[in-house]
Amino acid sequence: MINKKLLLKYSLKFILHVLFWFAVLLFYTYFFAVDSTNFNYVLSFSIFLMPITIATTYVSIYKLIPDYLATKRYMKFALYSTYTLIISAYLIIISIFFGLVYLSNFKYQDMAPISRSLLLVMIAVYLIVIMVSAFKLLKLNSKNTERANSLEKKILETQLKLKEQELNYLKMQIHPHFLFNTLNTMYGFALKKADETPEIILKLSNLLDYLLYQINKPHVLLSDEIAHIKDYIDLEQIRFNDTLKCSLDIDLKNEHLKIAPMLFIPFVENSFKHGNITDGFLNIDINFSNKNNEVYFKITNSSSGNSTKEHGLGLDNIKKRLELLYKDNYNLNINNSNTSYEVELVINT
């Protein structure tokens, strides 16, 4: 099957070349027939000139241009082009003598007027060479552009796949970390046979549904992400009981705004995990707002200054995800004082 396709391809190419050179022969016949009535002379002279034109053209498009000009070997291109020009010019001179000696029997006046001029004959030959060479250059440039675009596309696709793999890896790191904390809470209540255990299971079920079916989406509604955080806070509220004071202030101007999933929960988790109980309470304040395509998130928790870790799996993970998803389109500020730990995140979606 492949051989048939190649045979067809080369056969078609051969036919096109034959047709082209036949058209060149017609052009020569018409060109050299100007002010001449000797058709046999004109045709014979044109046929004699054809091999010179064909050879010069093929040397140019199959050797000089692809091997030297396209590869930027300009010195060799100039040198071999000069050789080609000298040899072809010599052969053109011979063609004029051929017209004088063999076609007009040394009778100068019987020669076709244009065939007597070395300059005009050279113009006729090199016009064809230049035209075909220009077409070859355009073809090579088009191929190189196509190849470069194809290579760039492959590079972008590879980078995108690597980015997706890294994001999936970061998401996979969030899953066990989050589940461990939640299941640990539920285990504690189950041991105490607390009445809140069924409610915890229900909340956990909602969280798992979000985790399993929404996390793989590239974007989710900001309102859904906040609802997910609310479920998490409700679970922690049960665990901390009366020692937790958590406020959630939400001001959404655009209910349909979308965001990458699981961007805020690591900060919320860190507040509960590393926050310090002061005067009998763990104080956590969370603010969400948005304007146009900008999302504002702020979380503050009570801290003893050195009890809150600024580094860890969750925080490093979220920084990497932000850099991958919103490079140059986010601003993250973390302030750790003696009494509070504050995270402020602004994302331009």
Fold of 195-348: Heat Shock Protein 90 (3.30.565)
pLDDT at 186: 72
User: Are the C-beta atoms of residues 348 and 326 closer than 8 Å to each other?
Assistant: yes
pLDDT at 311: 47
Mean pLDDT by 10 residues, the chain (349 residues): 77 93 95 90 94 96 92 93 95 92 87 92 95 93 86 74 57 57 72 74 75 74 88 80 86 85 84 81 91 90 64 69 85 88 90
CB-based contacts of 21: which residues, under 8 Å, 6+ apart? 50, 54
**Apex 330 CA angle, 325 and 331, nearest 5:** 140
Q: What is the pTM of this model?
A: 0.52
CA 130 to chain centroid, in Å, comes to 37
pLDDT at 320: 81
pLDDT at 262: 80
CA distance 264 to 280: 26
pLDDT at 172: 53
CA distance 132 to 127: 9
pLDDT at 312: 52
CA nearest 267: which of 252, 288, 281, 250? 288
Sheet holding 330-336, edge to edge: 244-252, 282-291, 294-302, 340-348, 330-336
Domain residue ranges in the chain: 2-154, 195-348
Phi-psi region of 312 (alpha: psi -120 to 50; beta: other; left: phi over 0): left
CB-based contacts of 113: which residues, under 8 Å, 6+ apart? 34, 35, 36
Phi, psi of 299 (to 5 degrees): -135, 130
User: Which regions of 185-243 does DSSP assign to beta strands (E)?
Assistant: 220-221
